[in-house]
């Protein structure tokens, strides 16, 4: 397959390298499926939970302190924050 831009023909890889965004996780050029989350582009495998580092299924996540978490880690992090607040910690 050939793409045209700027009056030049490009193969898929060269076109992607020149025009596609880079993954916020691995910094590789995005060619196929990507997620848009937290105002950045990601490979699905690179958009991971801030606690357990597992990929977030379907890009679904919960924010705590502006970091993405899966459902289980989200509740654990919120509980941890609550315990710190009750002890007067930050």
Answer yes or no: are the C-beta atoms of 2 and 16 closer than 8 Å. no
pLDDT band for 3, please (50, 70, 90 cuts): low
Q: Residue 51 has what pLDDT?
A: 96
The per-residue DSSP string of 12-23 comes to HHHHHHHHSPBP
84 DSSP β-pair partners: none
Is 39 within 8 Å of 26 (Cβ atoms)? no
pLDDT band at 66; cut points 50, 70, 90: very high
Choose the weakest-confidence range: 1-5, 59-63, 64-68.
1-5
Contacts of 40 (CB under 8 A, 6+ apart): 24
Domains of the chain are: 22-84 (2.10.110.10)
Residue 3 pairs in a beta bridge with 10
Beta bridge partner(s), residue 62: 69
């Amino acid at each position: 397959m050939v793409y045209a831009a700027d009056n030049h023909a490009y193969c898929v890889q060269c076109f992607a390298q020149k025009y596609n965004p880079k993954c916020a996780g691995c910094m590789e050029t995005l060619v196929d499926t990507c997620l848009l989350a937290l105002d950045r582009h990601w490979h699905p495998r690179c958009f991971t939970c801030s606690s357990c580092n597992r990929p977030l299924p379907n890009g679904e996540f919960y924010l705590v302190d502006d970091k993405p978490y899966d459902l289980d880690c989200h509740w654990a992090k919120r509980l941890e924050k609550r315990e710190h607040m009750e002890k007067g910690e930050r």
